[in-house]
């Protein structure tokens, strides 16, 4: 083996090790890793470097593939905005019932302020939830599709 092939193999192993490590972390860190190393439109790396990273993924053993595939699927499913639609309906219901309940208690200025504060809090919470989910969604779909549709090298053995 030449020195450059040995270096490439070591770099591939380091990349796979970094990917496995980041799959254990939160979605924000996983998104950053994918965007920086695998997503052509968001990465500052050259296309060749991104292709090298994708080729490194093909060298994963069966255990690594299972770990990464599972995390990719979870990453996509947890960032699906349609799953939060029932929460939005529930929040709207809570706001309406809270308004009715506070209106029945009294028509004071304090009731109005409490109602406005609760509504503002719920709107901000819902907006943050949907913004984060939508922001992560394209990366999650890309990563899951990449990992799911990849043709892995069959000659790699399980660790």
Phi, psi of 147 (to 5 degrees): -70, -40
Domain assignment of residue 159, yes or no: no
Domain assignment of residue 155, yes or no: no
| 65-74, 82-91, 98-107 — most confident range | 65-74
- Cβ contacts of 91 within 8 Å, gap of 6 or more: 122, 125, 126
Domain assignment of residue 156, yes or no: no
**Residue 151 CB coordination number (10 Å):** 6
Domain count for the chain: 1
List the alpha helices (DSSP H) in 59-105.
62-78, 85-105
Domain assignment of residue 142, yes or no: yes
Specify whether the CB–CB gap between 75 and 143 falls below 8 A. Answer: yes
Closest among 67, 86, 61 to 153, alpha carbons compared: 61
Name which of 10-24, 99-113, 118-132 the model is least confident about.
Answer: 99-113
Domain assignment of residue 31, yes or no: yes
* Residue scoring higher pLDDT (127 or 48): 48
User: Domain span at residue 78?
Assistant: 3-149
pTM of the model: 0.74
pLDDT given at position 142: 93
- Tokens at residue 24, please? 């254990």
Closest among 35, 24, 49, 26 to 146, alpha carbons compared: 35
């Amino acid at each position: 083996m030449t020195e450059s092939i040995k270096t490439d193999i070591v770099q591939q192993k380091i990349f796979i090790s970094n990917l496995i490590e980041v799959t254990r972390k939160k979605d924000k860190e996983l998104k950053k890793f994918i965007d920086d190393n695998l997503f052509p439109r968001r990465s500052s790396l050259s296309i060749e470097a991104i292709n090298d990273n994708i080729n490194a993924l093909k060298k994963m053993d069966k255990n690594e593939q299972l770990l990464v595939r599972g995390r990719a699927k979870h990453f996509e499913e947890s960032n699906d905005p349609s799953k939060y639609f029932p929460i939005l309906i529930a929040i709207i219901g809570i706001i309406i019932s809270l308004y009715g309940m506070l209106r029945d208690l009294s028509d004071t200025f304090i009731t109005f302020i409490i109602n406005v504060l609760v509504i503002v809090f719920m709107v901000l919470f819902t907006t943050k939830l949907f913004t984060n989910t939508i922001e992560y969604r394209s990366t999650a779909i890309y990563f899951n599709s990449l990992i799911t549709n990849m043709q892995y090298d069959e000659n790699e053995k399980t660790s």
